[in-house]
Amino acid sequence: MKNRIVIITPFYPIKHRKDLFEDTKAVHYLLKEFADDNDILVVHSFMHGFKSAWKQLKRVVPIKLKYKDYLYIDDYGNNVLFFENLLLFPKSIKTLSYFSKKHARLLKQFCTNEQYHPEIGVVHFPTYYVDFIRKFDAFPKSIAIIHSFDIKNIKSRASINYWKRHFDKFDAIGYRSFVIKKEFEELMGIYEKSFMCLSGIPDNFISIRLTQTSYNITDKINLIYAGRLDKNKNVAKSILALNRIDKKIQYSFNIVGDGEEKKHIEELAQNIGVADRIIFHGKVSREKTFHLMESADIFLMVSKKETLGLVYLEAMAAGCIIIGTRGQGIDGIVVDGENGFLTDSNNEEAIYKTLYRVMTLSPTEQKRIRDNAKETVRLLSDVSLSKEYYSNICSVIQEDK
């Protein structure tokens, strides 16, 4: 018998809306292995940030009265209700009650008209949806999946007692990384029913055999970054740190991706005299990005905030030695000096020292790190982790039956 599962998330692919900021497809990938055998409804409740919210006001408001105006089908054949929220105040995570009330009513309308009786609601980024969940109030059971932005919101919005009351209503808590689990439990205490909700990468990436030879400072070292070009990704600080590397060490820094920070990054590289070492590839496919990683030696991404970062895992599978951010999502999967390296994303000196350390590794050390990284990602396939995600959802559904 098919389980009726509602997934609520602010990020999910909507093919006809290329204008939306698409931070990650992680939730989409998590559904990969169980979508066909279950009756899944995705509620993609997108948040327009303050800078774009007022521009969207006339298009989004008033909200239409029929759920079918918001209904789409995804690649797996799941129903997707696509709602848009406007964060009309700076640095706010709270949408107007108008949106929560109307969206909850449309979801109820879908459930009634389609005779859809959800067994569970799985809420990603639950700190965004306090009002929406309260107004819908029709999930027999529910799971909160905690992301890095939830930790930030818990620390900066409302009181701990307020959040404690919110999370106590859920039947289980899932954590998107080991660091997130640690931070959440330090703030909120330990919840009896909890599990890890990690993301994985395709088996065909994992199965690639490593072919790279070692690099050395007498040859050109090939570095790569892949991701959105925004302030959070900290690419400018990476370039400043690279500029401190001894000029005798030859390197190229491949930047894969696009975003609002691109012009600033280009100007910075020009102003400090390293533009000839920076190669911009623009936004390319996931497969093309992986091929570029296979040709690279070092993957450098020191984001300020990162829930997990599948791109780290893909770089590890491709044979890159990775440099990530200490205390963010990859910390716990990467152990500094064992299967990759971690540094302080806020400290240019620390990034420089880590870069120099990695660039001057001996061939023996390079091989050890790469082999350990490859062994780490063998356990993190998207197929196995999708099955684990579904197993944990089923465990909550079955409780007390």
Question: Average pLDDT for residues 121-128, to the nearest whole number?
Answer: 95
Query: For residue 401, what pLDDT band results from cuts at 50, 70 and 90?
Result: low
User: Mind listing the pLDDT tens digit for each residue in 277-331?
Assistant: 999 999 999 999 999 999 999 999 999 988 888 999 999 999 999 999 999 989 9
Q: Is the pLDDT of residue 400 over 60?
A: yes
Q: Is the pLDDT of residue 23 over 60?
A: no
Three-state secondary-structure class, residue 228: coil
Q: So what's the pLDDT on residue 270?
A: 95
Could you give the C-alpha distances from 381 to 74, 180, 329, 377, 388, in angstroms and in order?
Answer: 22, 20, 17, 7, 11
Q: So what's the pLDDT on residue 21?
A: 64
Query: For residue 26, what pLDDT band results from cuts at 50, 70 and 90?
Result: confident
Rounded to an integer, what distance in angstroms lies between the CA atom of residue 229 and that of residue 260? 6
Q: Is the pLDDT of residue 108 over 90?
A: yes
User: Mind listing the pLDDT tens digit for each residue in 85-101?
Assistant: 888 777 777 778 899 99
Q: So what's the pLDDT on residue 314?
A: 96
172: β partners: 143
User: Mind listing the pLDDT tens digit for each residue in 54-72?
Assistant: 888 888 888 898 999 999 9
Q: So what's the pLDDT on residue 131?
A: 93
Q: So what's the pLDDT on residue 104?
A: 96
Write 123-127 long-range contacts (CB < 8 A, 24+).
123/8, 123/170, 124/7, 124/8, 124/9, 124/10, 124/11, 124/27, 125/9, 125/10, 125/149, 125/150, 126/150, 126/166, 126/167, 126/170, 127/93, 127/153, 127/154, 127/157, 127/163, 127/166
Tell which CATH classification among 3.90.1150.10, 3.40.50.2000, 1.10.10.10, 3.40.640.10 matches the domain 203-378.
3.40.50.2000
User: Mind listing the pLDDT tens digit for each residue in 239-286?
Assistant: 999 999 988 899 999 999 999 999 999 999 999 999 999 999 999 999
User: Mind listing the pLDDT tens digit for each residue in 41-57?
Assistant: 999 998 888 778 888 88
CA 134 to chain centre: 26
Could you give the C-alpha distances from 27 to 167, 174, 178, in angstroms and in order?
Answer: 20, 13, 18
Q: Is the pLDDT of residue 30 over 90?
A: no
pTM summary value:
0.87
4-200+382-398 against 203-378: fold identical? yes
Q: So what's the pLDDT on residue 36?
A: 86
321-325: strand order across its sheet: 278-282, 251-256, 221-226, 298-300, 321-325, 341-343
**Contact yes or no for 6/80 (Cβ under 8 A):** no
Q: So what's the pLDDT on residue 25?
A: 76
**Contact yes or no for 223/293 (Cβ under 8 A):** no
Which CATH number does 4-200+382-398 carry?
Answer: 3.40.50.2000
Q: Report percent pLDDT > 70 for the chain.
A: 98
Question: Average pLDDT for residues 196-223, to the nearest whole number?
Answer: 89
Q: Is the pLDDT of residue 103 over 90?
A: yes
Average pLDDT, whole number, for the chain? 92
Q: Residue 246 burial by CB count (10 A; 0-12/13-18/19+): exposed, middle or buried?
A: exposed
Q: What are phi and psi of 363, to 5 degrees?
A: -55, -35
First-to-last C-alpha distance (Å) of the chain = 15
Could you give the C-alpha distances from 154 to 10, 46, 73, 184, 256, in angstroms and in order?
Answer: 17, 20, 33, 9, 33
Q: Is the pLDDT of residue 22 over 70?
A: no
Q: So what's the pLDDT on residue 118?
A: 96
Q: So what's the pLDDT on residue 90?
A: 75
Residues in contact with 158: Cβ distance below 8 Å, sequence separation at least 6, in sequence order: none
Domain ranges, ordered by start, for the chain: 4-200+382-398, 203-378
User: Mind listing the pLDDT tens digit for each residue in 143-200?
Assistant: 999 998 899 899 988 799 999 999 999 999 999 999 999 999 999 999 999 999 998 9
Q: So what's the pLDDT on residue 346?
A: 93
Beta strands in 130-208 (DSSP E): 142-146, 172-175, 194-196
Read off the tokens for 277. Answer: 């070492």
